[in-house]
Every structure is written in structure tokens, then in C-alpha cells.
Amino acid sequence: MKVGKDTSSIIIDPVYGQIELFAHERELIEKDFLQRLKHIKQLGVAFYAYPAATHTRLEHSLGVMHVAGLIYGILTNEEIQTSNIENIDTPEARQLVSKIRGLVDRLCSENHECLVRIAALLHDSGHGPFSHSLELVLTRNPALKITKEDLEGLNKYGEVKAKVGGLWDRYVPKELNGHEDFTVVACLKNRDEIEEVLVKLPPSERLEFEDILKILTRKTGNDDVLSILSQIVSSDVDADRIDYLLRDTYHAGFSHSGIELYSLVRQLRLNPLHRNGEEWWTIGVPEDGVLFVEGLLIARKYHYDRISMGEDSRRYEIFLVRRIEQALAKTCPEQRKEKMCDFFIDQKDENVIAFIEEKNHNRPFQEIMNEATKYGCVLEAKWRQFTAHDHYDLLMVWRNDKDCKEFTETIEKELKKLYGEDFVADVYFHGKFPTSLLMSATPGYLFLYDYSSIIGDFPALMLENGGIRIYAKKHAGRFREYASMIERGLFSRNRDERRLLDVLRDQLEKTTTRRRGDYLVGCPGSEQRCRNLDMLMLLFYSVHYHLMACDEVYEEIADELRRKYGDGKADAIRQAIDRRKETLGIRTTIYRFISSNRNLFGFSYDLRDISGPLMTTPFTYSSPAHEDIQTLNALGFLDEKRVLQRPPEVKKGVSWRTPMYTYTVNKWNLPSYVNDRPQLKNLFDMLQGKMRESIRSIVLEEVERMLQ
């Protein structure tokens, strides 16, 4: 139910035409902490490349609020939500219709529209100046890492903690790595101003401040309603993504974003998702909506290619990040973290500009940034031009901004040594894969990754389009010469000319060796993604190894039993082993070993999420495990094969159209990668040794039991 409606409160918006505000929203927008967003450019320094791209975070926040309201309206329209299944006369369909109606009723109860719109409006309230440039400064420099304890040690935030009580402990993360984390702090810091607005709502429509935090942090527990509201604000198809793609492409000057807003939103559906015997609700689309989701993902790729990761945009962002780092280096060490906190929570673009100018003897900011105009991209090498081994190492480096900084600095030093000039290097990649998109099916669901070849090809496409750029000063006559020399240094067929490639690979090896050393001795949180991917790769390799060697294991057991019981029992031993093969395959034995040795692998995700790919059964895609599996597949370390579809009676809630996949080790890329890296080879030897001994012990015990 819409409340506090003020028909005169309309904002003219270039993307949507008009955005209607309610009285409480208008009052909230006028608060200083949200007005700050009016002075933060949505795309940072991209306006140097796209002069019209000067729109702000406040514009974006208003747009997200508007789109969140549109999505909520569709998800609470019972007729739309049941339109594709209401006429299907099966028990499963009738049960699903009943569930959807129940959830729609709960979404419509109380004042959930107001709640999701306010959460959407506040979702960037802790965003730092100049888009994501400040976050890069934070993650590239471990000395600037801000923890909850650091915040509590600063008077102004210590007072906030004392004032908000348990909310601080429940919602402020241990480490603050991005604007989402600082948004929580900003909301807590401005809690009184937010509640001053909320308290004016009618008593029957009053909102809980903590519910806003639950939505923003996605800590919704088992509350289906809050979970759906959180997905409206942040998910694979959410109000945030829809608005920034529409708004950024409009202001950058591109005529069409590829997103059909109202057609896309109208196709969104409530869908129950089953995983590990549990059910929760997510947002999907029917078959007719797949085309519009594909348009959204293509628009996102276009946004990355042309705007966020575009050659000119990145050049200016790199220069800005380095100027901020240099200015912080000239600041008293005890004040650096406080300065960064203030930037995210209280300050604007002009504060960062003034800070940089102050640390550069009041040299004008424009003059400082004009240094970037003297450089041009002399070489762009896509990841697909390198080997699969290089892809894996480059991805590991890219996932850690500190390592990425060291890697690019090494390249720059080598280029300086070779050619006597200053160069700027950059490693870029598109980021997260779309892993949790659903297509509604009856009964159950189908993952769009399976249904759409466009979405299914995204992981490989994104990896191929990652790259390394080298920028050089635009010297007359030497620019093309540098391009030719650097290209030969990377890709020449003459081994002696590929000196730059040798340096690049040496640095990749040093970096990945150090990263693996870090997680082997203690596995700090920043190394968990690296460990997950490595251990998943080794697990697949070990399973593959033992599947290939299972006959050898059975022969060893047969020999041992013949020695123990004598040759007179040879036929009985062979028959017992054959029965064991028929009733319990080697895969089942391997799975028992994996299940009983969870700590051995150190995964941060549930091992049940990878049992499907290992055991040739369907598996839940909406999990971190799926992203890592698809990463290995896209890197060429695994081979994916679609096999027979699964009948509906096998697993409750899984559509009969759900495909099965098998994953096998690519015999060229994965074994050679592991064998060339001593740390991984030692881990593999340990893992396969334990697995072999466990399998042998389990099978031997069962066969002996059969003999008796």
C-alpha cells in the first residue's frame, strides 16, 4: 500500500520521464547525508572520456527506488504471477499456485512497498566519491584496510556503536571492503534522521529500521518476504543493475541500452527454489522473459566494454587512483584510515579534489589529471591470446587488487628498463558470472544457464575478453614503434624476443606461489576464493584419477585377499568384487570419502553443492560452487557435457527439463598445470594418496564382508 502520497512531488527524470515521490521519501531525500550523493559522480572520472556522463549517485538512487517500486508492483500482482501456470491442471501446478498466492498476500501485507523503496533509496548512502575509484584505493593497499575495530577506535563511530547497540554488532562486517559495507555504517550513523521520517508514517504502516538493514545486507534469515525485497534491490536482475545500465548508457551518449524496462520487469516471477531438502523463494522469469534477461546481460557486457572498462575510462581512473594513493602517502599514517572512512561516509568529490590539490602544493586538480591525456593505449592483449595456464594465474592475480597492483608495477618497471620510458599497465576483467538466474517451469524451475546459449557462453566470453593494457606517452614517431616492440616482447615466435612474456610469467608465478603459501599456512579470508578454486580443481583431478585407476584398485584388493584366503577362494573373491562393482560404484565410495573429510578441502561452501558435478547428478547453480565450476570450465580445465534429462520423479521440485551435466578433466590443461606447480603437485599427491587409501579400505572391508 502506498502511503504519504504527495501528488505534487514529482521529479522529472531523463530516463523514466517522471519519478513520483511520497511525502516521507521527499523528506528523506532532503536530509544532508543523501544530498551528499548529489555531489558524487556516478561514473567517477568517465566524464573525461564521455563529457555528458556527469550524472550523480543521487540520480541513480532515485532511479533504483523507482524501479524497485515497479518490480514490487509486478511481484505483488497475483494475476501476473500465476498467469503461466494457473491453467495447468496438475497437483504440482495447483500446489505452486497456492504457494505463490500465499507469498503475494504476505508481500502485500503491512507496508512492504514503502520498505523496499526506502531500502533502494538508501542502498548507496555509504558510497565514496568518484564512483568505485576509492574502493580500489582501499583494496590495493592492505595498510589502509579498515576493520570494525578500527571504526570503533574512532570517536565519532565509537559513539555511533554506543548509540545503536546490538545493531552495530549484527550488521557491521569485520572488514569494510566496499561501499555496501560503508552504507551500513552510514545508515547507522544517520539512524535518528531516518527514523525521524519513519515515525511520521501512520502507526499501522510503521517500518522497522532494522528491516532496512536486513534488506541491504541480505541477512534476511528464513523470512521469505524480506528475502524477496532484498532480491529486488540486489540480485542478478535487480533495480540497481537495471537503473545504472539504463542511466549510464543514456548519459554516456549511447542511443540504446538494449534493456526493455517495462517488458523485462513485467516478466519477473516468484519462484520456489529447492536445495539440499530446503525451499526458499527467488525471482525468475518464464520462458517468454528469457529474451529480455539476455538483453540485460548483453547490455551489462556492453557497459563494461565501452564505459567501465573502456580504454579511456580506465586510463583516467588509473591516474586518479594513483594520485589518491600518493596523497595518502603524504598524510600522517595515524590519520589515513580515518580519512578514508570520512570519504566514504561524509564527503564528496570536491573533498577528494581538495585533498589531492593540498598534497600537491595546491596544483590544480585539472592540471594533475591532464597528465593522463599525454598517454595512449599502445597495446591491448586479450586473455585469449595467452595460454590456459596464464588465464588461471591472471584470474588469481585479478581477484586480489594488491597483487594486481604489484603485477602491473612489475610490468611497468620492466618496460622502463627495456625502453627507458614511463609506461602505465592495467589488468582488467568483467567480474562475476550470472549464476542464479531462473526460468520458471512447471513443476519446478530451470536455470537460464542451461536454457540460454547466450547466458551459458558468458563465463568463457568474459574470460576471453579480460585483458592487459599498456599505456605510453604519445611521442611523435615512437608510439607505433613501442606498440610493435611490446607486441613482439609478448607474442613473438622467436623465443629470444619474448622477454616481456617471461617477466610476466615470472611475476605471475611469484604472486600465485605467495598466495598459495598464505592460504596453506592459515587461509586468511582474502585468500579463501583462491583456495576454493585450487582445491576444487584438485578434487576434480583426484576423482578423475581414481575413476581411471579403479580397476587397478580392485586388482590390488583381489591380490591381497588371495594372499590372505588362498587361491582356493579366488573365484569367490572375484564374484564378491563383481557384486560390489554392480551395487556400489567407485563414485559412491569417492563421495563417502569426500563427505567424511570436509576439513581436508577447506571449502567455504557446502560440499553438497559440488556432489552433483562429481557424481553426475544435477546440482544447484545458485551457489559459490557453481561460479568456481564454471570458471574451471571456461578456463579449459574441465570439459562439460550435457547428458540425458532427469525424470521428474527422481527429485521433488526439479523440473523434468532440468538437464544433467558431466564434468571431466581436460587431459591437456589441468594435469600439466598442477604438475608444473610444486605446491599444487604436493597437495594433489597428498589428496590422491588419502583418497586412494580410503577407497581401498572401504572396498576391502565391504568385499571381505561379502566373502563371509
Nearest partner of 435 among 259, 619, 289, judged by Cα: 619
| Cα dihedral 168, 131, 348, 58 in deg (nearest 10) | -80
Q: Kindly tell me if the per-residue pLDDT of 618 is higher than 50.
A: no
| Cell numbers linked to 579 | 557384486
Reported as a pLDDT band with limits 50, 70 and 90, residue 416 is: very high
What are the CA-CA distances from residue 663 to residues 617, 619, 625, 637 (Å)? 10, 12, 14, 10
Query: pLDDT (tens digit, 9 = 90+) per residue, 53-99?
Result: 999 999 999 999 999 999 999 999 999 998 878 777 778 778 888 99
CA distance 473 to 374: 6
Query: pLDDT (tens digit, 9 = 90+) per residue, 650-672?
Result: 344 444 445 556 778 888 899 99
**Average of pLDDT values for 462-476?**
84
- Spans of all domains in the chain: 375-429+466-522, 527-707
Place of cell 509486478: 74
Report the Cα–Cα distance between both ends of the chain, in Å, rounded: 72
- List the 423-428 sheet strands across, edge first: 375-382, 467-473, 423-428
**Average of pLDDT values for 671-686?**
92
pLDDT at 626: 76
pLDDT at 651: 42
Query: pLDDT (tens digit, 9 = 90+) per residue, 88-126?
Result: 777 877 888 899 999 999 999 889 999 999 999 999 999
CA distance 53 to 386: 34
Question: What share of the chain has pLDDT > 90, as a percent?
Answer: 51
| Cell numbers linked to 639 | 570439459
Instruction: Look at 123-137, 232-246, 425-439, 602-616 and tell me which has the smallest mean pLDDT.
Output: 602-616
Reported as a pLDDT band with limits 50, 70 and 90, residue 147 is: very high
**Which of the given ranges, 37-46, 604-613, 684-693, has the highest pLDDT on average?**
37-46
Question: pTM score, two decimals?
Answer: 0.89
pLDDT at 68: 97
Q: Kindly tell me if the per-residue pLDDT of 4 is higher than 60.
A: no
Q: 3-state DSSP call for residue 330?
A: coil
Reported as a pLDDT band with limits 50, 70 and 90, residue 275 is: low
Other Cβ atoms closer than 10 A to 303: 22
**Which of the given ranges, 62-76, 138-152, 601-615, has the highest pLDDT on average?**
62-76
Question: What share of the chain has pLDDT > 70, as a percent?
Answer: 87
| Cell numbers linked to 178 | 566496499
Reported as a pLDDT band with limits 50, 70 and 90, residue 646 is: very low
| Cell numbers linked to 17 | 520521464
CA distance 682 to 271: 45
Q: What phi and psi, each to the nearest 5 degrees, are found at residue 22? A: -100, 165
Q: Kindly tell me if the per-residue pLDDT of 647 is higher than 50.
A: no
> Is there a contact between 357 and 365 (Cβ–Cβ < 8 Å)?
yes
Handedness of CA 410, 412, 418, 420 (dihedral sign): negative
pLDDT at 242: 95
| Cell numbers linked to 408 | 602491473
Going by C-beta distance under 8 Å and a sequence separation of 6 or more, which residues neighbour residue 89? none
Reported as a pLDDT band with limits 50, 70 and 90, residue 340 is: very high
pLDDT at 605: 67
CA distance 662 to 150: 47
Reported as a pLDDT band with limits 50, 70 and 90, residue 433 is: low
| Cell numbers linked to 697 | 579400505
Place of cell 590372505: 564
- In DSSP terms, which residues pair with 473 in a beta bridge? 375
**Kind plus residue range of the DSSP H or E element containing 11:** strand 5-13
CA distance 665 to 542: 10
Query: pLDDT (tens digit, 9 = 90+) per residue, 686-700?
Result: 888 888 888 788 778
Give the mean pLDDT of the chain: 85
pLDDT at 312: 92
> Is there a contact between 458 and 298 (Cβ–Cβ < 8 Å)?
no
CA distance 358 to 350: 12
**Average of pLDDT values for 596-620?**
62
What are the CA-CA distances from residue 19 to residues 200, 391, 594 (Å)? 22, 45, 54
pLDDT at 131: 87
Q: Kindly tell me if the per-residue pLDDT of 463 is higher than 90.
A: no
> Between residues 653 and 471, which one has the greater pLDDT?
471
Q: Kindly tell me if the per-residue pLDDT of 443 is higher than 70.
A: no
Q: 3-state DSSP call for residue 486?
A: helix
**Average of pLDDT values for 531-558?**
82
pLDDT at 86: 73
| Cell numbers linked to 443 | 513443476
Going by C-beta distance under 8 Å and a sequence separation of 6 or more, which residues neighbour residue 669? 388, 389, 635, 636, 637
Q: Kindly tell me if the per-residue pLDDT of 474 is higher than 90.
A: no
Residues in the chain: 708
Nearest partner of 354 among 368, 365, 369, 370, judged by Cα: 365
pLDDT at 30: 95
**Which of the given ranges, 76-85, 223-232, 276-285, 437-446, has the highest pLDDT on average?**
223-232
Instruction: Look at 155-169, 182-196, 564-578 and tell me which has the smallest mean pLDDT.
Output: 564-578
Q: Kindly tell me if the per-residue pLDDT of 324 is higher than 80.
A: yes
**Average of pLDDT values for 16-23?**
93
pLDDT at 289: 86
Other Cβ atoms closer than 10 A to 373: 13
| Cα 612–chain centre separation | 22
Going by C-beta distance under 8 Å and a sequence separation of 6 or more, which residues neighbour residue 40? 56, 57, 58, 127, 128, 129, 130, 131, 348, 349
Number of H helices, E strands in the chain: 37, 13
pLDDT at 649: 40
